[in-house]
Amino acid sequence: MSTSFEQGINTLKEVIDAPIASYFSSCTNCGLCARACIFYTETENPKYTPIRRVEPMRRIWEQEFTLVGKAKKALGLSKEVTEQDLKDCVELAFESCTTCGRCSMVCPVGNDIIYMIRRMREGLTSAGLAPKSLQEAAVRTLEKGSVMGFPMKTLEAMVKAAEKETGIDINIDKPDVDYLLLLSSAEVMQFNEIIASLAQIFKEAGVSWTFSSIAHEAGNPGMHMGASDIEAQMINRIVQAAEELNIKNVISPECGHAYMAIRWEGPNVIGRPYPFKVYHIIEVLDQLREQGRLKTSGSELDRITFHDPCQAARRGGVNQPQRNLLNMVSSNFIEMKDSQACNWCCGGGGGMNTIEKAEPLMQKVFNRKRNQIEELDVTTVVTMCATCRNTLEEGIENNNMNVEVLGLTELVANHLLKEKK
């Protein structure tokens, strides 16, 4: 896509809608959003106050969409947004924000601040200011269908290994099955035990499913960048796969932002409703549990807790299924303080984990999660997002903590009751 400062400004004008105008009209600069943001609480640096991250957009709104602002502009009483203003905003919108949305939970006037920050990113990307690492990830995904650049043959190798391990045949491009399964790059590369886990769970539950060779990953750097055209291309690939294979249910992987992209943003960026339903993998497992098709045996006796991924829980509305599953396989599940919609972010999402210069800040803000975990005195932290899992594992290692991190699907698979047939 072509980019320029002017295009950035135009994009910012285009994305300002009625909700954003009502948010800017209502903000009283009370600063409460700062107290909900890990980048503020762990650094106490006022520059990380969430509402400050969209200041250029606020000025554009005031000057272009309010009578008072237009008058002030005509009288030379307000400053127009400059290229430097946008450059300064990159650090705030990309390099110190995971778009976790906790700020939106506390705003007294109800502003969805993260909705604005996401739109701010769109403007910055149009201005050619998106972080290079995100741009590279987008190119990889467009070219190879994988955020980390793994071609389909990498997944095929993983599938073969899982087939060998489990003795279960795994479909690729099989039409008319119940589910199309999407993965995240991290699952293909690091947490690929999930393939065997799901193969076993689905076999026991009598679920038919397949991978697609044209859309095997749901990760969407286009969403992180705020490049809706790139985001749409990635979504369209999945839609094409589901339509060609005549599949009515698509499974989003254990990845919060992938879920946000495919479940909630997808139809809006491609401009039409899906002819299929989208579920987070944990929603699917919980449905199978409810139907009596997912049976487990034994129970974890150690103290375990759960980290709610921001985009699946707080922003995506998946809060109960994970708890149902955890209580099925654990007799010692302990909630974190401020769990579910108000959970504290791990610090790695929203594309931040791809930005090298953000690494020291990421490590610093992990302090909040470390304290949350330590006060519970648990042996295991379970989550349902590969990015959270990576961030938790790194944070735990950096802080010399004696805690294991597990994906929820894997934990459920560990307890799967296999019926002899």
Partner 1 sequence: MNEIELLNWARGPGLAYATIIMVFGLTLRVFEILSLGRAEELAEVRGTGVSDGWKMILKRSLPEPRHWKLITASYIFHVGLLVVIFFFIPHTQLFRDVFGIFWSGWPNYVIDFFTVLSIAAMMYTLVSRFVDPTRRILSKMSDYFAWVVTFLPLVTGYMAFHRLGIDYTTMLAVHILSVELLMISLPVSKLTHAITFTMARYYTGSTNGRRGIQS
Give me 112's structure tokens.
């969805």
Task: Tell me: does residue 46 bind partner 1 (CB under 8 A).
Answer: yes
Task: Tell me: does residue 41 bind partner 1 (CB under 8 A).
Answer: no
Task: Tell me: does residue 49 bind partner 1 (CB under 8 A).
Answer: yes
DSSP 206-247: T--EEB-SS--B---HHHHHT-HHHHHHHHHHHHHHHHHTT-
Task: Tell me: does residue 319 bind partner 1 (CB under 8 A).
Answer: yes
Q: Which stretch binds partner 1 (CB under 8 A): 295-303, 316-324, 351-359, 369-377?
A: 316-324
> How far apart are the C-alpha atoms of 417 and 412, rounded to whole Å?
10
Q: How far is CA 273 from the centre of its chain?
A: 21
Considering only 3, 7, 66, 171, the residue that binds partner 1 (CB under 8 A) is 66
Residue 304: which H helix or E strand, with range?
strand 304-307
Q: How far is the CB of 21 from partner 1 (least distance, A)?
A: 4
Alpha-carbon distances, residue 202 vs 250, 258, 412 (angstroms): 14, 21, 12
Task: Tell me: does residue 26 bind partner 1 (CB under 8 A).
Answer: yes
Is 22 or 190 the residue whose CB approaches partner 1 more closely? 22
Cα atoms in the 13 Å half-sphere on the side-chain side of 244: 15
The pairing of beta strand 333-334 with beta strand 380-383: unpaired
Task: Tell me: does residue 102 bind partner 1 (CB under 8 A).
Answer: no
Q: How far is the CB of 153 from partner 1 (least distance, A)?
A: 33
Q: How far is the CB of 146 from partner 1 (least distance, A)?
A: 24
How many amino acids of this chain bind partner 1 (CB under 8 A)? 57
Task: Tell me: does residue 231 bind partner 1 (CB under 8 A).
Answer: no
Task: Tell me: does residue 38 bind partner 1 (CB under 8 A).
Answer: no
Is 195 or 238 the residue whose CB approaches partner 1 more closely? 238
Are the C-beta atoms of 327 and 333 separated by less than 8 Å? yes
Task: Tell me: does residue 73 bind partner 1 (CB under 8 A).
Answer: no
Is 194 or 278 the residue whose CB approaches partner 1 more closely? 278
Considering only 1, 4, 6, 25, the residue that binds partner 1 (CB under 8 A) is 25
Task: Tell me: does residue 67 bind partner 1 (CB under 8 A).
Answer: yes
Give me 376's structure tokens.
């519970």
Is 66 or 233 the residue whose CB approaches partner 1 more closely? 66
Q: Which stretch binds partner 1 (CB under 8 A): 45-53, 150-158, 174-182, 351-359?
A: 45-53
Considering only 38, 51, 241, 373, the residue that binds partner 1 (CB under 8 A) is 51
Considering only 96, 104, 135, 141, the residue that binds partner 1 (CB under 8 A) is 104
Cα atoms in the 13 Å half-sphere on the side-chain side of 4: 4
Task: Tell me: does residue 358 bind partner 1 (CB under 8 A).
Answer: no
The phi, psi pair for 275, rounded to 5°, reads -90, 20
Q: How far is the CB of 308 from partner 1 (least distance, A)?
A: 11
Strands (E) across 232-288 are located at 249-252, 277-280
Is 173 or 243 the residue whose CB approaches partner 1 more closely? 243
Are the C-beta atoms of 296 and 328 separated by less than 8 Å? yes
Task: Tell me: does residue 315 bind partner 1 (CB under 8 A).
Answer: yes
Q: Which stretch binds partner 1 (CB under 8 A): 1-9, 41-49, 189-197, 225-233?
A: 41-49
> How far apart are the C-alpha atoms of 272 and 265, rounded to whole Å?
11
Contacts to partner 1 from residues 258-297, by CB under 8 A: 263-268, 271-274, 277-278
> How far apart are the C-alpha atoms of 137 and 356, rounded to whole Å?
13
Is 111 or 197 the residue whose CB approaches partner 1 more closely? 111
Q: Does residue 335 sit in helix, strand or coil? A: coil
In the block, which residue shows the tokens 């976790």? 100
Is 108 or 298 the residue whose CB approaches partner 1 more closely? 108
Q: Does residue 22 sit in helix, strand or coil? A: helix
In the block, which residue shows the tokens 């749901």? 218
Strand-pairing partners, residue 313, are none
The phi, psi pair for 366, rounded to 5°, reads -65, -15
Interface residues toward partner 1, by CB under 8 A? 16-23, 25-32, 34-35, 40, 46-47, 49, 51-52, 65-68, 104-112, 115, 263-268, 271-274, 277-278, 314-317, 319, 340-341
